[in-house]
A and B are shown apart, each in its own frame.
Chain A
Amino acid sequence: MGPALTLLEGSAPEFGVGAFESRPLFPSAAYQSCHDGWEAIEGCSYSPTWTDIWLTNHIAQAVIGALLVIGFWLIVKPRKTASADPNQNGVIPSKRQFLGEYAYNLIRNGVARDLIGHDYQRYVPYLVALFSFILVNNLMGETFLFMFPTFSKVGFAWGLAILSWLLYNGVGIKKKGFFGYLRSATLPHGVPIWLAWLVIPLEFLSNIIVRPLTLGLRLFANLFAGHLVVMVFVVGGSWLLFATSSSSTGYSPVWNVAGGLALLMSFFVFAIELLVACLQAYIFTVLTAQYVSSSLAEEH
């Protein structure tokens, strides 16, 4: 293992891949006895208390993300404007309301109406909340103070995937009944009977099992991989930039040049991460809407 990789494994958890490990906000005595600072002492086992498991920095981050989203929508929501002309009260949107409606319409028209169609309004609140929550949490990966995308911990992604899974199966069952939904979800119209026994298990796997798995994994893997690349460029680059002959054997000044270039490149990587953060939030929302739409679709 190269010296830069050792550094990536890092002794300081806020630095290097240690960032992916959740740290308790209020470490218990048992936790502290098995950790040197934040670093786990090898071979030491302890039974974590519930605060060690549940009150961690990453969960706090997700909660802060949710509060930011709620705050944003409360700030931009339409409100009565005091105006000299009584006809204009609450009719002319304020600038804040305009911004909010612009963001809201992006999902309402661009995702919900286009994909779900008839009776789409019922799903707009969930889709808007989903999109804004994922977007805010993804952007935390590029934001000071947090510098960690919440969904690069796979559990958070599973949580949202399960929610969407419950939604699209729930609306399908509500509309068509349990067996009616299963039939429409596993047997496409026009498949001959002699093929049905081959097609049904395949459709079941594809529509009921693989969908939530890919939904969660796509979000997690994109953010995890992206954040890892950022880490390699920034941490590895800065280590190389400041390397001296005493840092490691085999040192050459090329290291410093390469480190500087890697740091410059990291800006480019960050730009890509911004794109990925927005794109993945959008894709998750679009796919949820599409699954809902396919659950509701009538047989023709």
Chain B
Amino acid sequence: MSDPKGNDGDGITALSYILSGVLLYGGLGWLADRWLGTGFLLPAGLILGLALGVYLIIRRFGARP
């Protein structure tokens, strides 16, 4: 994967991290909100998922030489 031509799919991988993060933790927050009757867990989950997605992108792609 060090080949400069080998990054055709990286954009899609990055996008899938962001999407999965937001969907997973946003979804969990939404469920928790419905269960507990609160209203702050959905936005908190969305932000947490987004942050984790960005973090994973940095981990996976930023570490390359």
Q: Which residue of A lies closest to B15 (CB)?
A: A214
A266-300: contact bitstring with B at CB < 8 Å (1 yes, 0 no)? 00000000000000000100110010011001001
List of A residues within 8 angstroms of B23 by Cβ: 205
List of A residues within 8 angstroms of B59 by Cβ: 188-191
List of B residues within 8 angstroms of A286 by Cβ: 8-9
Assembly CA distance A98 to B35 (angstroms) = 65
Q: Residue A39 at the B interface, CB < 8 A?
A: no
Query: B12 contacts A206, CB within 8 Å?
Result: no
Q: What would be 18 A-B contacts, judged by CB atoms less than 8 Å apart? A: A117-B1, A117-B3, A188-B56, A189-B59, A191-B59, A195-B52, A198-B48, A199-B56, A202-B24, A202-B49, A202-B53, A206-B19, A210-B19, A214-B12, A286-B8, A286-B9, A287-B9, A293-B6
Question: Which residues in B have some Cβ–Cβ distance to A below 8 Å?
Answer: 1, 3, 5-6, 8-9, 12-13, 16-17, 19-21, 23-25, 48-49, 52-53, 55-56, 59-60, 63
The interface size of chain A toward B, counting residues with CB under 8 Å, comes to 26
Question: Which residues in A have some Cβ–Cβ distance to B below 8 Å?
Answer: 114-115, 117, 188-191, 195, 198-199, 201-203, 205-206, 210-211, 214, 283, 286-287, 290, 293-294, 297, 300
Assembly CA distance A188 to B9 (angstroms) = 18
List of A residues within 8 angstroms of B16 by Cβ: 206, 210-211, 214
